[in-house]
A and B are shown apart, each in its own frame.
Chain A
Amino acid sequence: MAVRKILIAIALTFMTLFLVLPLIIVFSEALSAGIGTYFNALVDPNVADAIYLTLVIAAVAVPANLVFGIMASWCIAKFDFAGRNVLITLIDLPFSISPVIAGLLEVLLFGLNGLFGGWLSDHNIQIIFALPGMILATTFVTFPFVAREIIPLAQEQGNDEEEAAVTLGAGGLQIFFRVSLPKLRWGLFYGVLLCNARAMGEFGAVSVVSGKIFGQTDTLSLAVESLYESYEIQAAFAVASLLAGLALLTLVLKAGLEWRHRDEIHAVRRKRSS
């Protein structure tokens, strides 16, 4: 009993110290100069641009990774092919590589002096220090989130239900949309939530490829840094509070959906464990 209490106490202290306390500080600092100043900081055109840019990047990166993730899990779970294990390892690459390196690699490929830099500038296409580069970097870094979540699920669920659907008269697309996709939907949902949270908060890779042109290629997380560095502490925390709010919203969304569909989730989980 004593051990249990001690462990719980340690866990709670840890959580408070590293999760709750910072969250409180972010919001209290953001609101330290009053609610009016807080909103003024957020409607600043540069910050508004950063919000917009963050949303655009997430709006491209998340669906792209959703599609990639589904395709990858489909390949890996349904087929046995040469290079399957290589593919599984490659999917994990963005996790094991530092985001800064990822950004750097992109500069080396698409930058002005990079591998494709000459061709790109000849054709007037700008990737580095522009939106396409930031989208690419974010997509790369957040790639594993959806795939990692659903590959084990798809492997474990196997092909039985798809075969049953075949005998019941379903065609390829019908099977995909009525059976394969729905039975993965909770995995997909968690994957997308995590992917989105990370896409909006990504700093390292985006920082390298963005060029940090304030008001032009600033995302929310980059704006926090540039505001902080220019001693606009309160504004920096106001923007940070948006990101923190996003994290909280993600959690609430997840908990809410889990609660609404608790019967089904419970049923599916029990089946998985049996």
Chain B
Amino acid sequence: MSTEIEIAGIVRRFGPHTVLNDVNLSVRPGELLALLGPSGSGKTTLLRLIAGLDQPDAGTISIDRADALGRKPKERGVGFVFQHYALFRHMTVFENIAFSLRIRKAAKPEVKARVEELLKLIQLETLAGRYPAQLSGGQRQRVALARALASQPRVLLLDEPFGALDAVVRRDLRRWLRQLHEEMNITTLFVTHDQEEAFDLADRVVIMNAGKICQEGTPIEIYRTPANAFVHEFLGESNVLPAAVRDGVVYADAGFVIGGAAAAADGKVTAYIRPHHVLPLASPSGAWRVLRIAATGSHARISLGLAELTIEAAMTADALLDSGLESDAAVDVSFSGGTVFDTDGTRPVKLLAARSIVTGPVQASLHV
């Protein structure tokens, strides 16, 4: 039976800094959950609190409905994989993995059997006698994982598990970890600042910023309906356009219609639009200019200018070919999606596509 974790009202301060500010989170049994956020958002601190490496100033953490804060790390049944692996440098791979079993005074044959089982799992049977320094980054990572799994923890915590690895190893290891999770079904939390990694690997993603949880949900939920401007910007490139709403129509301050937002109240807003939602269309009468086209393999980026404003569009290289766009061409621009936030970055409203019409300076009439 898989383990659940309940985190309520957690506050952690380091001197004058509040690193975690009233964090509430339920981790469901057997799920693979990503804590995603920029550095300094408090995600690693939260992980350390769950493991018992640190104590909160307020709040509760329970593992399987039993209070965890009163218990020592070793009584919590938690396995932890550190960012830089923290392998015991003076021990061989075998002894590293065996550590928790030896601490628990497991019988020798039992230790041997378990370690060999784990070595097989991480596909490093032949390297049992090596020292950590003689391994590659990916191999160290797997040894760290095997070491954390040796005593069969109820919860697995990983701090930036792929942070120090190169792109190819990272992708392979990610798939391998996903597969491992499906086989073992152990409740797993991992910390990352890489949005792609979180979305690729996790069942559910929790976005943190400045010591608070901004949003939690499945990758698709979060990507489609970001709770605030921070989340939208953090999840990928955004064109940020100051704008105003009048009668459900969103007018950019630069003088064009972005689209419809029926649910938005009249007033100043900020529109966030992903590059792939920007659709340039070659048109001799277009008010926009193509400033630059950068083809990067399968995708192309197009910079579009309207007077002082520059926005970025993205499309597949094939679509670019079909569009017949070229540098300095005149184009019309429309937007197939986006989100409008209040100027303080809250209250998201989805944009409805509307063909952009250059309206001239409209904002003057909107200033109330």
State A166–B82 Cα separation when bound (angstroms): 12
B67-90 vs A, Cβ < 8 Å mask (1 yes, 0 no): 000000110001110101011111
Instruction: Tell me which of B79, B89, B132 contacts A167 (CB under 8 A).
Output: B79
Residue of B nearest to A174 (CB): B103
Q: In the assembled complex, which residues on chain A have CB atoms less than 8 Å from the CB atom of B151?
A: 168-169
Q: Is the CB of A160 within 8 A of B89?
A: no
The closest CB in chain B to the CB of A162 belongs to B86
Q: Which residue in chain B gives the minimum CB-CB distance to A264?
A: B131
Interface, chain A (partner B; CB < 8 A): 157, 160-161, 163-171, 174, 178-179, 182-183, 185, 263-264, 266-271, 274
- In the assembled complex, 8 residue pairs joining A and B whose CB atoms fall closer than 8 Å, in A order, are A165-B88, A167-B51, A167-B78, A167-B80, A167-B148, A168-B74, A168-B99, A179-B88
> Which of B73, B99, B131 contacts A268 (CB under 8 A)?
B131
Q: Does B79 contact A268, Cβ atoms closer than 8 Å?
A: no
* CB within 8 Å for A163 and B86 given contacts A168-B99, A174-B103: yes
Task: Please report the C-alpha to C-alpha distance between residue A129 and residue B100 in the assembled complex, in whole angstroms.
Answer: 53
Known contacts A170-B103, A267-B132; is A164 also within 8 Å of B80 by CB?
yes
Interchain CB contact under 8 A, A169 and B131: no
Q: Are A268 and B133 in contact (CB under 8 A)?
A: yes
Which residues of chain B (24-79) have a CB below 8 Å from chain A? 51-53, 73-74, 78-79
Q: Are A268 and B89 in contact (CB under 8 A)?
A: yes
For the complex, give the distance between the alpha carbons of A135 and B328 in Å.
88
Are the CB atoms of B73 and A267 closer together than 8 Å?
A: no
Bound complex: CA A264 to CA B73 (Å) = 30
Q: Are A163 and B90 in contact (CB under 8 A)?
A: no
A271-B89 contact given A166-B53, A169-B74, CB 8 Å threshold? yes
Q: Which of B84, B89, B151 has the most CB of A within 10 A?
A: B89
Does B104 make an interface contact (CB < 8 A)? Answer: yes
Residues of B within 8 A of A (CB): 51-53, 73-74, 78-80, 82, 84, 86-91, 99-100, 103-104, 131-134, 147-148, 150-151
With contacts A167-B148, A168-B99, A183-B90 known, is A274 near B73, CB below 8 A? no
Asked if B104 contacts A169 (CB within 8 A), the reply is yes
Cα distance A52–B131 when bound, in Å? 42
A264 touches B90 (CB 8 A): yes
Task: Choose one: B52, B74, B86, B131; the contact of A164 (CB below 8 Å).
Answer: B86
Please, how many angstroms separate the alpha-carbon atoms of A96 and B69 in the complex?
Answer: 49
Contact of A182 among B74, B90, B148 (CB under 8 A): B90
CA distance A49 to B51 in the complex (A): 59
Q: Is B103 a contact partner of A169 (Cβ separation < 8 A)?
A: yes
Residue of A nearest to B80 (CB): A167
Give the contacting residue for B73; candidates A157, A166, A266, A269; CB below 8 A. Answer: A166
Bound together, the chains give a CA A161 to CA B140 distance in angstroms of 14
Chain A residue nearest to B78 (CB atoms) is: A167
**Is B133 in contact with A267, judged by CB distance below 8 angstroms?**
yes
List of A residues within 8 angstroms of B133 by Cβ: 266-271, 274
Residue pair B88, A163 in contact (C-beta under 8 Å): no
B90 A165 Cβ-Cβ under 8 A: no
Task: Please indicate which of the listed interface residues A182, A185, A267 has the most CB atoms of chain B within 10 Å of its own CB.
Answer: A267
Looking at the assembled complex, report how far the CB atom of B84 sits from the nearest CB atom of chain A, in whole angstroms: 6
Chain A residues with Cβ under 8 A from B52's Cβ? 166-167
Residue of B nearest to A181 (CB): B90
Partner of A161, one of B51, B80, B89: B89
Known: A160-B82, A274-B133. A168 touches B147 (CB 8 A): yes
Bound CA span A264–B131, Å:
7
Nearest-neighbour CB distance to chain A for B229, whole angstroms, equals 36
A164 touching B88 in the complex, CB below 8 Å, given contacts A169-B103, A174-B103, A267-B131:
yes
Q: Decide: B131 and A160 in contact? CB cutoff 8 A.
A: no
Residues of A close to B87: CB separation below 8 A: 161, 164
